[in-house]
Amino acid sequence: MTHEPPPVTQTFARFEQEHIMPIPENKRTGTNWSIFAIWVSLNMMPLAVVTGAVATGGFGLPLGWSFLAVFAGNIIGAFGAALHASQGPTLGIPQMLQARAQFGYLGASVFAFIAFVMFMGFFSSILLVAKDALAEVIPGFNGTLAIVVFAAIGIALCVFGYDLLRRTMVWLSILIGVAVAVSMIMLALQPNALTARDDVAMTPEGFFAMLAIGIVWQLAYAPYVSDYSRYLPKKTGPKTAFWSTYFGLVLSSVFVMGLGVLLGAIAPDNPLGALGSVLGPVGLVVLVVFAVSSALINGVELYSAVMNALTVLQSNFKTRITTRVRVWTTIVSGAIATGIAVLGQGDFMTMFIGFLDLLLYVLIPWSAINLVDFFIVQKGHYNIAAMFDPSGGEYGKWNAVGLVSYGIGLLAQLPFMDIAIFTGPLAGSINISWLVGFAVTAIVFLVMIRFSKKPAPVAVEA
CB crowding 166-191: b at 16 or more within 10 Å, else e? bebbbebbeebbebbeebbebbeeee
Worst-scoring range by mean pLDDT, 223-227, 233-237, 424-428?
Answer: 424-428
Residue 7 has pLDDT above 60, yes or no: no
The DSSP bridge partners found for residue 383 are 460
Residue 351 has pLDDT above 70, yes or no: no
Give first-to-last CA distance, the chain, whole Å: 18
Separation between Cα atoms, residue 44 and residue 175, nearest integer Å: 10
Residue 398 has pLDDT above 90, yes or no: yes
- 423 three-state secondary structure: strand
User: Rounded to two decimals, what is the model's pTM?
Assistant: 0.85
Residue 71 has pLDDT above 90, yes or no: yes
Separation between Cα atoms, residue 36 and residue 241, nearest integer Å: 9
Separation between Cα atoms, residue 390 and residue 397, nearest integer Å: 8
**35 contacts 165 by C-beta, under 8 angstroms:** no
> What pLDDT does 375 receive?
94
Separation between Cα atoms, residue 461 and residue 438, nearest integer Å: 31
Homologous superfamily (CATH) for 37-361: Hydantoin permease (1.10.4160.10)
> What pLDDT does 257 receive?
94
| Phi, psi angles (nearest 5°) of residue 320 | -80, 115
CA proximity to 263, closest of 249, 250, 251, 279: 279
Over residues 13-48, the pLDDT tens digits come to 678 888 889 989 888 888 888 899 888 888 878 888
Separation between Cα atoms, residue 369 and residue 374, nearest integer Å: 8
> What pLDDT does 18 receive?
80
> What pLDDT does 438 receive?
92
Separation between Cα atoms, residue 438 and residue 325, nearest integer Å: 36
In the chain, what are the domain boundaries? 37-361
Over residues 288-333, the pLDDT tens digits come to 888 888 888 888 889 989 999 999 999 998 889 999 999 999 999 9
Tell me how far the alpha carbon of residue 94 is from its chain's centroid.
13
Separation between Cα atoms, residue 3 and residue 123, nearest integer Å: 42
Helix ranges restricted to H, 373-461: 400-413, 433-452
> What pLDDT does 90 receive?
92
**For 389, which DSSP code?**
-
